[in-house]
Structure 1
């Protein structure tokens, strides 16, 4: 599970990163509201841990911006502001949970696990684009012509394409989303996985294709007539 941590107090941010990474989470820290919005909208995260009192844009403004953009990523607010009005405001703006400082690391981890279950509980397990269906629970890509079980990285890439048809994704986006910021993965890995998916779509007689845009990236689009 990949988390975005928004906390401007760097010593606390480092401590939280250490706790989370020791418990198997991948964490990217940012320190102000503008970066928080930019990183959140990259759509590579499974959840956000968000402080309220941060520079440039406060946590409430960040949360409001994220939700207005249609991004429903789970958000856990961490804040020293413990008044009922503050907690109500955060929840009304779309936070999934609100934890006041100081807090126990055990409680933080429990809240994150609960937050992740919210995402896992989403009822729609299939994506459909054209005559192609992707089952998110089984990683099966299918059409009336047959089906394939996708390997994990193939699935992550195809899920992204089918979640936002006609959207152009850069190679850097896929490297960060699938292999991670710290990965030494290179462009040819993305090319390889795009090639795998193209071959499967051809066998399935798909009426959509992965189109390359020179110096820009890839997009899932209807086949030419």
Structure 2
């Protein structure tokens, strides 16, 4: 069981999220605005937070930024109806760990929170590196030879998981469990799609790292030494 802070100003949505997380076994505190969220976070230690972006008085972006300034390093999932790339980037730059777009299934929110909580409990290293590719898991920033490698949250998490498992291959089910939080609620072909996205970006950045398909198993990371 984890202590989860939920920040949602819509009463119906807030109740729905609270019930869904409680049914999962979590201890949930629901507040309606950003100021209340900061007050709760200062008074209690939470294991994770799900924060709506469009809040009265203070946006979810600002709440997340202030939590980080206060030294709160709990996993934060921003929840919003806005799906523009700039919004997602702004959210991650504010210190969020993940970004979930409405409408969403409560099972997916639960899955993402489980994945973040599992990584925190395992003490995931703050830097993952393979060849010229470097991932800063705190800033959620990827670079190749010091130059930014633009990755979505899921692409970043996928590449990090492959780097940490290298040179052993990772199965699709293992990737789903780690990156998407569950191998039951997602089609395994989504892993193939995201591997394709990351491959193209690594190639475009002239990285010395490539993702290799291991037939009948999954995927592994190869570093090409000169």
Q: Which residue of 2 aligns with 1:20?
A: 21
Q: Which runs of 4+ in 1 moved over 6 A?
A: none
Shift of 1:68: 1.0
Q: Deviations over 1:176-220 (max 9, x none)?
A: xxxxxxxxxxxxxxxxxxxxxxxxxxxxxxxxxxxxxxxxxxxxx
Which structure 2 residues correspond to residues 1-225 of structure 1 after superposition, within 5 A? Answer: 1-122=2-123
- CA distance in 2 between partners of 1:22 and 1:71 (Å): 26
* Structure of higher CA gyration radius: 1
Q: Deviations over 1:74-105 (max 9, x none)?
A: 10111111111001111111111100000112
TM-score if structure 1 supplies the norm length? 0.53
What is the CA RMSD across the aligned residues, in angstroms?
1.4
- CA distance in 2 between partners of 1:118 and 1:92 (Å): 20
Shift of 1:123: 6.1
- CA distance in 1 between partners of 2:89 and 2:64 (Å): 13
**What is the number of residues matched between the two proteins?**
124
Q: Which residue of 1 aligns with 2:173?
A: none
For the Cα contact (< 8 Å) 1:74–1:118, is it kept in 2? no
Q: Which residue of 2 aligns with 1:157?
A: none
Q: Which residue of 2 aligns with 1:151?
A: none
Q: Deviations over 1:81-133 (max 9, x none)?
A: 11110011111111111000001122111111111123212269xxxxxxxxx
- CA distance in 1 between partners of 2:86 and 2:54 (Å): 15
SS at match of 2:43: coil
SS at match of 1:24: coil
TM-score if structure 2 supplies the norm length? 0.53
Q: Which residue of 2 aligns with 1:215?
A: none
- CA distance in 2 between partners of 1:99 and 1:76 (Å): 7
